[in-house]
Amino acid sequence: MKIENVKGGNNYLPKEQVIRNYINDVLIETFKEYGYKPVETPILTYYDILSDKYDENNDLLNEIYKLTDQGNRKLGLRYDLTVPFAKLIALSKNSIKLPFKRYEIAKVFRDGPVKLGRDREFTQCDVDVVGIKGSMIEAELISLYVSAFNKLNIDILIKYNSRNLMRGLIKSCGISDNLVSKVITIVDKFDKLSKKELNDLFISIGLNKNNIEELLNYFNCNIEQLNKLNIDNEEFSIGLKEINELNMYINELKLNDYVKFSPTLARGQDYYTGNVFEVYEKNNKISCSIGGGGRYDNMITEFINDGNIYPAVGISFGLTSIYELLKDKDIVNNDYIYIIPLDTNIESLKLATFLRNLGYSVDVEMSNRKLKKSLEFANKENIRYVIILGSEEVENKEFKIRDMKLGKEFYIKNIDELQKVFD
């Protein structure tokens, strides 16, 4: 038997997981600042619930991991955290108050191609709001993106668009309703395919030369040009209003340096109804997106189906992609203390217990390594504070401390003074 990970799944050793935990901690801190609360949802979901919002040609249907239980029920592994959130609201509507803001950090699964920053088993970090209409909350979510990535020291570009705008533009080209979803899937690939490749795809679904020419012209427009178009189409009008309103907030909040309108951005999921977003590393250090989301007003409304409207919008952070950008970051464990006993095992364990009771993370050297080797270990593990405890220190009731970050040693005479040093 060959021992290996399934393709697209990874192990993370302590140094790597420290960085992943650091990312999670920064994101959770930011989510809380914006008033979001934690939830947890199941990994397993009935397949019909996962596939309900897609047409049969959608690429994502091929990426759902499908399985059956012992009762021969069709199940699937969740591919994102949005559908499980909609299900949570539908099942909990009588016990929560709207608007409801949540965050969740959990594993999701997609049986798709594996590349840098895109695995088959990966962690998503989501924030969602149900119960708020309009672009004000969308502007706040963009602000949340900017705040979180600034804390992580990652330069970002957020692209945004309206699905209503896209549908309106496509229909104005004389394209039938039953082809709109297929056209959107192709339009979403504008930045990845050549003009000839796009043309061939459009022809393959039945578009003619005039359709294609109009589409290419419309989807190269900026906001100013779109506002000058004379299109009598309800979806186009709604989409244009959504974009203009969000653009107004972006300007007023001075987020222009981080945000760019992209008329071809669709996001793959058909459940999106209004504005959508996608986040990229600004300097192209990684090609795939590192976050995305949008408005999905119909999903929860249709799940509950009680005659009420449940507007919803959310964004997601791709932890795997973010990790790739930060994996070489040195994170010093300032709250981690390493005790090196020099024939003082009992005293060292007592000291470790005392410090743990104060809330510190403490490790004690137990491998009988030489002092030099122990210090090298502390350096390798990015441990900042080392306490060297020999019989002389015990006798004199003092502690020899080395600050590995500053490369300095000093003595503390009183055990109560230790906390002042580490704080």
Q: Considering only CA atoms, which of 331, 322, 335, 307 is closest in space to residue 423?
A: 335
- 200 with 251, same domain: the answer is yes
- 372 with 236, same domain: the answer is no
Q: Considering only CA atoms, which of 191, 241, 180, 193 is closest in space to residue 220?
A: 191
Count of CB atoms within 10 A of residue 246's CB? 24
- Residue 68 sits in a domain whose CATH number is 3.30.930.10
Domain that holds residue 397: 333-422
Q: What is the pLDDT of residue 326?
A: 93
Report yes or no on 209 lying in a domain.
yes
- 226 with 351, same domain: the answer is no
Q: What is the pLDDT of residue 77?
A: 96
Report yes or no on 47 lying in a domain.
yes
Report yes or no on 204 lying in a domain.
yes
User: How far, in Å, are 95, 102, 109, 114, 311 from residue 38 at the CA level?
Assistant: 15, 6, 21, 30, 20
State both tokens at 8: 């697209």
Report yes or no on 153 lying in a domain.
yes
CB of 164 closer than 8 Å to CB of 242: yes
Q: What does DSSP say about strands 383-390 and 408-412: parallel, antiparallel, or unpaired?
A: unpaired
- 226 with 339, same domain: the answer is no
Q: What is the pLDDT of residue 320?
A: 84
State both tokens at 128: 């969602």
Q: What is the pLDDT of residue 191?
A: 81
- 318 with 337, same domain: the answer is no
Report yes or no on 253 lying in a domain.
yes
Whether cis (ω within 30° of 0) applies to the bond prior to 113 is no
User: 322-355 b/e with 16+ CB inside 10 Å = b?
Assistant: bbbbbeeeeeebeebbbbbbbebeebbeebbeeb
- 222 with 91, same domain: the answer is yes
- Residue 375 sits in a domain whose CATH number is 3.40.50.800
Instruction: Provide CB contacts within 8 A for 266, sequence distance 6+.
Output: 161, 163, 166, 184, 185, 187, 188, 272, 276
Q: What is the pLDDT of residue 53?
A: 62
Report yes or no on 367 lying in a domain.
yes
CB of 85 closer than 8 Å to CB of 74: no
- 125 with 151, same domain: the answer is yes
pLDDT in tens, 58-67: 667 889 999 9
- 109 with 217, same domain: the answer is yes
Q: What is the pLDDT of residue 332?
A: 64
Distance between alpha carbon 263 and the CA centroid of its chain, in Å?
23
- 262 with 403, same domain: the answer is no
* Domain end position, chosen among 263, 292, 326: 326
- 356 with 251, same domain: the answer is no
Report yes or no on 7 lying in a domain.
no
For tokens 């003595």, the residue is 411
Report yes or no on 6 lying in a domain.
no
* Domain end position, chosen among 267, 294, 326: 326
- 33 with 145, same domain: the answer is yes
* Domain end position, chosen among 326, 357, 390: 326
pLDDT in tens, 66-107: 999 999 999 999 998 988 998 999 999 889 999 999 999 999
- 25 with 135, same domain: the answer is yes
pTM for this entry: 0.84
Regions of the chain with pLDDT less than 50: none
- Count of the separate structural domains present in the chain: 2
